[in-house]
Structure 1
Amino acid sequence: MGHELYLTDAPTSDDLAIVSSGLTAFNEGEVGASDRKLLAVLIRDESGTVIGGLSGYTSWGWLFTQLLFIPETLRGKGMAAKLLTEAENEARTRGCKGAWIDTFNPLALKAYKSHGYQVFGEIPNFVETRTRTFLQKAL
């Protein structure tokens, strides 16, 4: 029985679900259930419209922040610290022992470090001359 590789830039949601569920089953067989749960801390304007925020998930006792966006009008006002604090507090409630995040933005890197995150890895020249930095924090 042969197998065929198929390269695509438009996988279906079903295709991705097969890969995800297969990896999830394998990992859970190796190290136990991930207890993966989505987590978001949203910034809403006066009308209730989402204008930014943080999204990620908790899994295997860790908080992973995937996305963090602050509108330009709110930057430099401690909003990143507020978002991270809310997410970290929820992660602690969920039993998490640590958090990790990555960035190639120098301003975000400074904000994360000032919030207690420590560098554990880097990819120099990830985008042009910018370094992609991976950070973690004990919760």
Structure 2
Amino acid sequence: MKTTLEITAEPLAQDLALLSESLTAFNDRDVGASGRKPLAVFVRGEAGAMVAGISGYTAWGWLYVQWLWVDEKLRGQRVAASMLDAAEREAMARGCHGALIDTFNPTAEKVYRRQGYEPFGSLPDFPVGRSRIFLQKKLS
């Protein structure tokens, strides 16, 4: 079979969909269905605008927090902790036994550690001058 290698900064939606479907099918055969389900927690202000949020998913018994953001005016008020608590409760209701999050922000790392997350790995210079820290927590 003759093949070509393509590099693009603008992948087609159908190519990404095929990639996702193909990898999902492979993983399902290899380790079983993930049961992947999106999970989001939002905090809204008086006018209904989002002022903080979490986005991630649950899969294979784990909660993965992909994004966590808190508006500057609300930082230091345990908003991140409240959102993490809510996400973890929902994850446990879905049968999850663990949670995973990563950051390269030292302040965020402290927040996650206070929530019971423990580092298990790091990637130096991601970005340069910082380390991307990977943290996990056992849910019970």
TM range (shorter): over 0.9
Query: Distance between the aligned counterparts of 1:34 and 1:128, measured in 2?
Result: 34
The structural deviation recorded for 1:128 is 2.0
Matched residues, number: 139
1:46 maps to what in 2?
46
The structural deviation recorded for 1:50 is 1.8
Name the SS for the 1:83 alignment partner: helix
Name the SS for the 1:42 alignment partner: strand
The structural deviation recorded for 1:49 is 1.6
2:117 maps to what in 1?
117
Unaligned runs of 5+ in 1: none
Name the SS for the 2:47 alignment partner: coil
1:80 maps to what in 2?
80
1:56 maps to what in 2?
56
* Percent of residue pairs bearing the same amino acid type: 53
2:27 maps to what in 1?
27
Map Cα deviations across residues 72-119 of structure 1 (whole Å, 9 max, x no partner). 000001011001000000000000000000000000000000100000
Name the SS for the 1:19 alignment partner: helix
The 4+ residue runs of structure 1 with deviation greater than 3 A are none
AA partner of residue 79 (structure 2): M
Query: Distance between the aligned counterparts of 1:18 and 1:72, measured in 2?
Result: 39
1:128 maps to what in 2?
128
Query: Distance between the aligned counterparts of 2:52 and 2:74, measured in 1?
Result: 10
The structural deviation recorded for 1:51 is 2.6
Query: Distance between the aligned counterparts of 2:129 and 2:12, measured in 1?
Result: 34
Name the SS for the 1:87 alignment partner: helix
Query: Distance between the aligned counterparts of 1:104 and 1:118, measured in 2?
Result: 14
Query: Distance between the aligned counterparts of 2:11 and 2:86, measured in 1?
Result: 34
Map Cα deviations across residues 27-46 of structure 1 (whole Å, 9 max, x no partner). 00011110000000011111
Give TM-score scaled by structure 2 length: 0.97
Name the SS for the 1:80 alignment partner: helix
2:70 maps to what in 1?
70
Give TM-score scaled by structure 1 length: 0.98
The structural deviation recorded for 1:124 is 1.5
The structural deviation recorded for 1:52 is 2.4
The structural deviation recorded for 1:70 is 0.2
